[in-house]
A and B are shown apart, each in its own frame.
Chain A
Amino acid sequence: MEKKTLTLWVLSLFLLVLKTSNSLEEGLESTRMHDYAKYHPMEEIYTWMEEVERGNPELVSSAVYGRTYEGSNITLLKLGLENPEGKEKKVIWVDCGIHAREWIAPAFCQWFVKEIVHSYKTNKKLEQMLQNLDVYVTPVVNVDGYIFTWANESTRLWRKSRSDPPPNSSCYGVDLNRNFNANWGTVGVSFDSCQNNYCGKAAGSEPEAKAVMDFVGKMVNQTLCFLTIHSAGQLILLPYGHPQITAPNYDELVAVGEAAAAEMKNVHGMGYTVGTSPQILYANSGSSRDWARLIGIPFSYTFELRDKGEFSHLLPEEQIQPACEEAYAGALSIIANVHDKTFNSGTRPNAAVSGVAMGILTIMVVSFTAGVKV
C-alpha cells in the first residue's frame, strides 16, 4: 500500500475512534447530569434513552417496538451483557407508564436503568445476572397519555390512552390496563368510553397494548418475569384480577412477593401489601400482569408504588428518590429470586427466599442508600 494512502487510513480511523469515545464520554456525562429525582416530560425521556444507549453500548441497546395511537414511538431499553458461555439469555420485562398520571412509574424506570448502569461493573451478582438475563425496560408505554398529562394543570390526572372517541361518543382514550387479552371485558371494567376503566372495543384493540403483547409474545418462552409499574397504594399485586381464577404457582408468587415487600420495607420503613388484586384492591380483567401470567410467564407482578392517599398520583418530587430506592430493592429481589431459581437449579429448595441473594441485595441496597450521588 502506498504510504500516503496508509497515512490517510490511519488518520480517518483515529478520527472515528475519537468521535466514538467522545460520544461515549458525553453519553456517560449526560446520564450523570439527568436529574433522577425530578419528573421529566416525554422529550427529555426520549433524549435520555438515546444518551444512556450511547454512553453504555456494551450494556444498553434500544428498540422501538410499536407506535402509539397518535404515532409516537414506544421505545424500550434492553440491558444485558454477553453470556461468556454463549448460553441463551432469559428475559425480564419491566414496563412503566401504562397509566398516564402515575408519574412515579416512569421516574422509577429511569431510576432502575440508572442504578444498573452505575453499579453493574462493581457488583458481581448484578454482572452475573446480566450475563444470564436481558432486562427489557419501557420507561413509558402510554406516551400519548403521558404527554397529555404535561399539557396543562387541568390534564394532570388523565389516566387512559388518547385514542379517538368511538362512534356516538365524545370521550377519548382507553384504559390500557384493561385492554390486554386476559379475560378481557369480564370484571372491573366499563364499556362506557367516558369512564376511566373503559376496556376498549376488543382485547388488544389499542396499539399500545398490542405492541407489548406482540413483542413479549415473541419471547414468551424465554421470559421469566414480567413487572408492570404503577401508582399508587403501596401494593404488590399477583395474578389474577378475576376473583375466581388462581394462578397455578400462587403460593410461590406470594412467597417471592412477600420477600420483595420485606426488602422494600428495609429501605425506608414503608409497608407494601402483597396479594391478588381482588383480595387487596379490586377485581379487574384485561391487565398486562394477567396477560403475562396467562401466556405462561411464571412470575408476573404489578407494583403499585407510593403513596397511600395523602398525595396519591401527585407524589412530591422529594419523594421520588426514596420511592425509587425501595421499588428498586423490591424489583431486584424478585429478579434475583427468579434468576437463582432458573440458573442455580438443584441447589435450592422450593422455598422462594434465596438467602445468598438476600444477603447480597441487602449490601447493594445499603450501599445505594448510603449516598449514591446522582
Chain B
Amino acid sequence: MCVLQLTIMSLRIIIVLAVFTGVTGSPSVTVRPEADSVYVTAHPNSVPETGEETGFFGKLEVLVEDETEEDMMATGELNPNHYPAQRAAKVVQHYLNTRYGSPYRLLGLQRVHSGNAEDVEDSGRKYQLEISVQEMIGNTTEKCSAEVLFPRGEGQRSPQVQASCEQLLKVNNTAQEEALYKLFKTNQSLLSAQNLPDSYGHIEPDMKPLWHLSIVASSAVMLNESTENTLYNMAQVANITQLATENDQVKFDCHVLLHEMVSQEIIHWKLLFTWSPPEGVKVLQMEQLPHCHDCEKPPNTN
C-alpha cells in the first residue's frame, strides 16, 4: 500500500511539473507496413484455402468422400487419446459404477492406455481396452482390462461390458456404509435435497453421499443409453427424495440431469432406486423426461 501511495504521490508531482514546463503530446507512431507474417507451410494433406478475394472464404471446395459413419470408425489398434477409445472407456466407467459404486466408492475414467476395435459379424463392434480408473473419494488409481460390445442390428440394445480390475473391492468402506445406512433407516424425517451440485459447483458435505448414490444410479441409465456416438456424464441431481424403507432397502426417488457431450444436450431422467450395503444400488424404474422447451422463456428482465 505504501509503495502505491508513494507512486501516486510522485505521479501527481510529475504531472504538475510536466504541466508547468509545458511538455505536451504523445510520441508519434509511424506504422510501417510489414511483410505478411502469416506462417503458411505446405502440408502434404492440406487443402489450399480460398482467400478473401473470392469473398467465399467460409466455404472450402473439398472433395469429401461419401463415407458412412461406420466406415469412418477406426478398426484395429486405436489411438488411446482419440474419441472412439475414449467413448468406449467411458462406458466401462458406467459399468463399473453400477457394479461397484456406493455412497463411498465412485469410479472415474482416468486414462486409456491402449485400445483395439473389431467388427464382430452379426453382433456389432467390440472394443478391447486397457484403462486406468480412479476411485474418486479415496483418490486411488488402478488398472483395468475391459471389453465393450456395442450391438448392431434391430432394436435398441445396450452395450455389453466385461471388466476386470486389479483390486477394485479391496478398499473397505463397510463401517462408513453401515453408519450411513443406519442413518437413512432411522432418521425421523425422510431426507430430501435439490441441486447437487448447485450453480457454483457446491455440495454440502452432508449431501455428498446422496450425490454419490445418484451418480451410481445414473450410471445404470448412462450404461443403457451409451453408443459409439455418445459420451455421458451426470451433470446434476435436480431433486432427490427419500421414500419409505422397503424390505430393508432404503429407497429414493430422484430427478437427474445427464450431459451428453456429443450432442451437448442435457437429458432429464427420473429414477427410482434402492440401496443397502449388502445389495448395493438397484434401479427399480427409469424414465426419460421430455424437456420442456416452451418453459425456457426469458425471465422478466429490465
A-to-B contact residues, CB < 8 Å: 13-14, 17-18, 20-21, 24-25, 28, 39, 70, 82-83, 86-88, 90, 147-159, 162, 170-172, 175, 181-184, 190, 194-197, 203, 221, 224, 233, 242-252, 271, 273, 275, 279-282, 291, 294-298, 308-317, 319, 341-342
A128 CB → nearest B CB, Å: 17
Q: Are B40 and A311 in contact (CB under 8 A)?
A: no
In the complex, what residues of A have CB within 8 A of residue B121's CB?
none
Which one of B47, B82, B197, B301 contacts A245 once the chains associate, using CB atoms below 8 Å? B47
B46's contact among A13, A70, A248, by CB below 8 Å, is which? A248
Considering the complex, give the chain B residue whose CB is closest to the CB of A286.
B58
Residues in B whose Cβ lies below 8 Å from that of A309 = 90, 108-109, 233
Residues of B within 8 A of A150 (CB): 199
Instruction: Of the listed stretches B12-20, B156-164, B241-249, B274-282, name the one at the interface; the rest are far from the partner chain.
Output: B12-20
The CB with the most chain B CB atoms within 10 A, among A175, A245, A317, is that of: A245
Whether A157 pairs with B257 at a CB distance below 8 angstroms is yes
Query: Quick one: closest A residue to B49, CB to CB?
Result: A294
Q: Which are the 4 A-B pairs with shortest beta-carbon distances? A: A316-B201, A181-B58, A309-B233, A248-B46
Known pairs A28-B4, A310-B136; A280 contacts B43 (CB<8 A): no
B298 touches A172 (CB 8 A): yes
Q: Give 14 CB contacts A-B under 8 Å.
A: A70-B298, A82-B29, A88-B32, A88-B33, A151-B299, A157-B235, A157-B259, A190-B263, A243-B72, A248-B49, A249-B41, A313-B235, A315-B201, A317-B202
Residue of A nearest to B199 (CB): A156
Given the complex of chains A and B, what is the CA–CA distance between A105 and B108 in angstroms? 24
**A312 and B39 in contact (CB under 8 A), knowing A182-B58, A244-B64, A245-B60?**
no
A residues less than 8 Å from B59 (CB atoms): 183-184
The yes or no answer to B8 lying at the interface (CB within 8 A) is: yes
Residues of B within 8 A of A281 (CB): 83, 261
Q: Which residue of B lies closest to A318 (CB)?
A: B201
Chain B residues within an 8 Å CB radius of A224: 37
How many residues on chain B are close to A (CB under 8 Å)? 75
Partner of A155, one of B52, B235, B296: B296
B173 / chain A contacts, CB cutoff of 8 Å: none
Task: Give the contacts of B20-62 with A (CB-CB under 8 A).
Answer: 27-34, 36-43, 45-47, 49, 51-52, 57-60, 62
Are A14 and B46 in touch, CB under 8 angstroms? no
Q: Are A24 and B8 in contact (CB under 8 A)?
A: yes
From known contacts A159-B264, A279-B83, infer whether A248 and B40 are also in contact, taking CB-CB under 8 Å.
yes
Instruction: Flag whether B81 is at the interface (Cβ < 8 A).
Output: yes
Complex-state Cα separation, A86 to B151, whole angstroms: 65
Residues of the B chain whose Cβ atoms lie less than 8 Å from the Cβ of A249: 39-41, 43
| B168 contacts chain A at the CB level, 8 A cutoff | no
Residues A314 and B235 in contact in the complex (CB < 8 Å), given A181-B58, A244-B64: yes
Residues on B facing A (Cβ under 8 Å):
4-5, 8, 11-12, 15-16, 19, 27-34, 36-43, 45-47, 49, 51-52, 57-60, 62, 64-65, 72, 79, 81-83, 86, 90, 108-109, 111, 136, 194-195, 197-202, 233, 235-236, 257, 259, 261-266, 293-299, 301
Could you tell me the distance between the alpha carbons of A245 and B198 in the complex, rounded to whole angstroms? 40
Q: Could you tell me if B293 and A171 are in contact, using CB atoms closer than 8 angstroms?
A: yes
Roughly how many angstroms separate A70 CA and B298 CA in the complex, as a whole number? 11
Shortest B266–chain A CB gap in Å is 5
Q: Are A184 and B15 in contact (CB under 8 A)?
A: no
Contact between B200 and A250, CB atoms less than 8 A apart: no
Instruction: Provide the main secondary structure of the chain B interface.
Output: loop
Q: Taking the nearest CB of chain B, how far is it from the CB of A244, in angstroms?
A: 5
Q: CB-CB < 8 A to B82: which residues of A? A: 275, 279-280
Of the candidates B46, B79, B90, B236, which one forms a contact with A250 in the assembled complex, judged by CB atoms under 8 Å apart? Answer: B46
Q: Which residues of B contact A246 (CB under 8 A)?
A: 43, 45-47
B79: A residues at CB distance < 8 A: 279
**CB neighbours of B5 from chain A (8 A):** 25
Q: Report the minimum CB–CB distance from A163 to chain B (whole Å).
A: 11
Q: B67 → chain A, closest Cβ, in Å?
A: 9
* Contact between A157 and B266, CB atoms less than 8 A apart: yes
Once the chains bind, are B57 and A196 in contact (CB under 8 Å)?
A: no
- Asked if B235 and A341 sit within 8 Å, CB to CB, the answer is no
B263 touches A280 (CB 8 A): no
Q: Are A88 and B12 in touch, CB under 8 angstroms?
A: no
Q: Bound complex: CA of A159 vs CA of B260, how far in Å?
A: 13
Residues in A neighbouring B301, C-beta threshold 8 A = 70, 147
CA distance A130 to B91 in the complex (A): 46
Task: Give the contacting residue for A197; candidates B58, B200, B264; CB below 8 A.
Answer: B264
Contact B46 A247 (CB under 8 A): yes
Residues of A close to B298: CB separation below 8 A? 70, 148, 162, 172
Closest chain A residue to B19, Cβ basis: A13
B87 to chain A, nearest CB (A): 10
A86–B28 CB distance below 8 A: yes
Contact across chains for A183 and B60 when beta carbons are under 8 A apart: yes
Q: Give the Cβ gap from B213 to chain A, nearest Cβ, in Å.
A: 15
Per the bound structure, the CA–CA distance linking A220 and B149 in Å amounts to 48
Q: Which of B28, B82, B295 has the most CB of A within 10 A?
A: B82
Contact A17 B16 (CB under 8 A): yes
